[in-house]
Amino acid sequence: MNRERFSQWIALLRPGDFLTLGAATMVCVLSMLMLWRGGAPDKVVIRAGGEIFAEAGLSRSQVIEVPGPLGLTRIEIEPGRARVASDPGPRQYCVRQGWLTRSGAAAICAPNEVSLMLGGGASDYDSLNY
């Protein structure tokens, strides 16, 4: 298509049409950002003392026991979710977080140096530091 014919089409647009077009594009982008954020997680990464201790899929139920300086941290995995079932730490923050279901979600048992993180899908966070 040469430039003259292209400008013929552009001439059909009135000022308000550009406004409508812009609003429509905004709706597209916003709906993408709002509805396509995050995703279903598909794997669990368990770290102990900063090293990766285990990586497991989120498709079947299992219990993983992770040794740390204070004792055993018990991690429970069920289809689509995971949690820290018990931890020897004094304040139990990671246990009280309950089930993690979103990609990128993490539970950290700092005293026992164990962390649990869901991965896969599109995660909500690029990285977490502690």
Partner 1 sequence: MTPSTIEIRPTADDGRIARLAAAAIVLSVAEAAIPLPLPGVKPGLANIVILIVLMRWGWRDAVWVALLRVFAGSLLLGQFFAPGFFLSLAGQTASLIMLGLAMHLPTRWFGPVTLSILAAFAHIGGQLALARVWLVPHDGIFYLVPVFALAATIFGLVNGLVAGRLLKELAPPERDAGAAAVP
Q: Is 76 helix (H, G, I), strand (E, B) or coil?
A: strand
Contact call for residue 122 and partner 1 (CB under 8 A)? no
Q: Which is nearer to partner 1, 9 or 130 (CB)?
A: 9
| DSSP H/E element including 48 | strand 43-48
Binding residues for partner 1 restricted to 42-101, rule: CB under 8 A: none
From 9-17, 50-58, 73-81, 112-120, span contacting partner 1 (CB under 8 A) = 9-17
Contact call for residue 130 and partner 1 (CB under 8 A)? no
Instruction: Tell me the C-alpha to C-alpha distance, in Å, between residue 79 and each of 18, 25, 54, 74, 76.
Output: 48, 37, 17, 17, 10
Q: Report the 10 Å Cβ neighbour count for 7.
A: 9
User: For residue 115, what are its two tokens?
Assistant: 């962390």
Contact call for residue 20 and partner 1 (CB under 8 A)? yes
Number of residues that bind partner 1 (CB under 8 A): 18
Identified binder of partner 1 from the candidate list 6, 13, 57, 125, rule CB under 8 A: 13
Q: Which residues bind partner 1 (CB under 8 A)?
A: 9, 12-17, 19-21, 24-25, 27-28, 31-32, 35-36
